[in-house]
Amino acid sequence: MTARQLAMVIDLNKCIGCQTCTLACKSQWTDHGGREFMYWNHVETRPGLGFPKDWEQAGGGWDNGQLRPGRLPRLQEDYGYPAEFGYQALFEAGEKPLRPLQEMQWGPNWDEDQGAGEFPNAYFFYLPRLCNHCTNPACRAACPRQAIYKREEDGIVLIDQERCRGYRYCVAACPYKKIYFNPLAGKSEKCIFCYPRVEKGLPQACAYQCVGRARHVAFLDDRDGAVHRLVNEWKVALPLHAEYGTQPNVYYVPPLSPPQIGPDGRPLDAPRVPEEYLAQLFGPDVGKALDTLRAEMAKKNRGENSALMDLLIAYRHGDMFRLDRPREVV
């Protein structure tokens, strides 16, 4: 545990998969120098294999206090390399459409159009992912050079680029596969939780740019912050794959969904997105979280007051981010 932990809550009911967060991050941090294939923040579609391809089956994390073995994703096959286009074709006569020069095999959100289920009960939802700035990071434990550290003042996990020698044990150890090896630099790199912005009291670019107002940022110990209220008080924000054992600090409000449609065309009592599937991602408490959300949403629909809904609606953009030191801690 560090003295403080900055954390994020992402409301999946508000994420529309527009990738504005992805682009905010990419244009800020990963648009050149061997980082072209990296997405420190990306939005993938679930159910799906995600990015890098099939990351949930790539190992890593903790198993009874021991690091669980993991494998390294491959650049072309698992991440997918951004394709080059022969733009000069635009200046030549002919009917040839503009196409990537190489066949791409995979990429971020590659399987967006798949989802699961059969019409009329097909379903999907979006899952934004970034480094979880874990309280017990497997990446840090796996590095034999102590190149990875967690900042005492905000719990941000960083790779010391001077110490890193590109061994990639961290890449294998991260169960979320959110550390990327930069093959040009020969070093591993990852989401830095926009610490230069955080140090100026600004939220992360991904959170600030989110058009859906889906992301809340606050210190976990800030009792007036949205993160503490949603995670600890309302218990509607849950970590992704807590069973990996790293104690992630990005939390998700699980997605509600419309009812399934029965053979007679009438709505059934079961949600379109099966609760068992959500439990695989967010753990056994997801049902209770969804019940709370449904109950509070119903209140709001009846014209009653719901502090939870007000918090999630986020009437004022600025209310979603609390990066200053709360008074009781100073």
Partner 1 sequence: MNGEKLFNAKAQRRKGRKGFLVGSMVGVLLSGCTAPRLPDDPALAALRADGRVLELEQRWRLPAGSDDAAWAQVPPQRVILHPQNAIAPGLDGGDAITAELRAVSDGEGLALRLAWPDAGEDRYSTTHTDRFADAVAVQFAIDGAPPLPYVGMGEPQRPVRLWFWRAGRGAENLAAHGFGTLAANGDTPPAVEARRTADGWVVTLRGPLPATANPLPLSVAVWDGAGAGRDGRKRLSAWQLLLDPRRTADRARLTALAQESRSHGAAQNGARLVREHGCIACHRLPGQAAADIGPDLTRAGALHWPGYLRRSIAEPSAFVLPRATYHAPGSGQTSLMPKLNLPPAAVEAITAYLATLRGGEE
Range in contact with partner 1 (rule: CB under 8 A) among 72-80, 214-222, 224-232, 253-261:
72-80
With tokens 């509600």, the residue in question is: 256
> How big, in percent rounded to 5, are the helix, strand and coil portions of the chain?
25, 20, 55
Question: Among residues 169 and 193, whose Cβ is nearest to partner 1?
Answer: 169
Distance CA 68, CA 76 (A): 25
Return the residues of window 103-162 that contact partner 1 according to CB under 8 A.
144-146, 162
Q: Classify each residue of 221-236 as buried b or exposed e, where b means 16 or more C-beta atoms within 10 Å of its C-beta.
A: bbeebbbbbbbeebeb
Range in contact with partner 1 (rule: CB under 8 A) among 66-74, 122-130, 221-229, 231-239:
66-74
3-state SS, residue 66? strand
166 binds partner 1 (CB under 8 A): yes
Do residues 168 and 181 make contact, with C-beta atoms less than 8 angstroms apart? yes
73 binds partner 1 (CB under 8 A): yes
The only residue of 29, 81, 195, 277 in contact with partner 1, by rule CB under 8 A: 81
**Strand blocks (E) in the chain:** 6-11, 41-46, 62-63, 66-67, 125-130, 148-150, 157-159, 179-182, 187-190, 215-219, 238-239, 250-253, 259-261, 267-271, 321-322
- Taking the complex as a whole, the smallest distance from the CB of residue 99 to partner 1 amounts, in Å, to 21
271 binds partner 1 (CB under 8 A): no
* Token pair in block for residue 45: 């579609």
Q: In terms of Cα–Cα distance, which of 216, 247, 210 is closest to 230?
A: 216
79 binds partner 1 (CB under 8 A): yes
82 binds partner 1 (CB under 8 A): no
> Three-state secondary structure along 180-233?
EEECCCCEEEECCCCHHHHCCCCCCHHHHHCCCCCEEEEECCCCCCHHHHHHHH
Return the residues of window 172-211 that contact partner 1 according to CB under 8 A.
180-181, 183-184, 186
Question: Among residues 39 and 79, whose Cβ is nearest to partner 1?
Answer: 79
74 binds partner 1 (CB under 8 A): yes
- Taking the complex as a whole, the smallest distance from the CB of residue 32 to partner 1 amounts, in Å, to 14
- Show Cβ contacts of residue 255 under 8 Å, excluding neighbours closer than 6 positions: 12, 13, 125, 273, 278
- Taking the complex as a whole, the smallest distance from the CB of residue 72 to partner 1 amounts, in Å, to 4
Question: Among residues 29 and 167, whose Cβ is nearest to partner 1?
Answer: 167
Question: Among residues 191 and 250, whose Cβ is nearest to partner 1?
Answer: 191
- Taking the complex as a whole, the smallest distance from the CB of residue 60 to partner 1 amounts, in Å, to 14
Q: In terms of Cα–Cα distance, which of 250, 248, 232 is closest to 289?
A: 232
Distance CA 235, CA 213 (A): 19
The only residue of 75, 116, 242, 261 in contact with partner 1, by rule CB under 8 A: 75
- Taking the complex as a whole, the smallest distance from the CB of residue 71 to partner 1 amounts, in Å, to 8
102 binds partner 1 (CB under 8 A): no
User: Measured over all CA atoms, what is the biggest interatomic distance in the chain, rounded to whole angstroms?
Assistant: 69
Total residues in contact with partner 1, by rule CB under 8 A:
24
Q: From residue 15 to residue 54, what is the string marking binding to partner 1 with x (rule CB under 8 A)?
A: -------------------x--------------------
C-alpha angle 204/209/211, rounded to 5°? 140
Question: Among residues 74 and 288, whose Cβ is nearest to partner 1?
Answer: 74
By the criterion CB under 8 A, which residues form the site for partner 1?
34, 71-76, 79, 81, 144-146, 162, 165-169, 171, 180-181, 183-184, 186
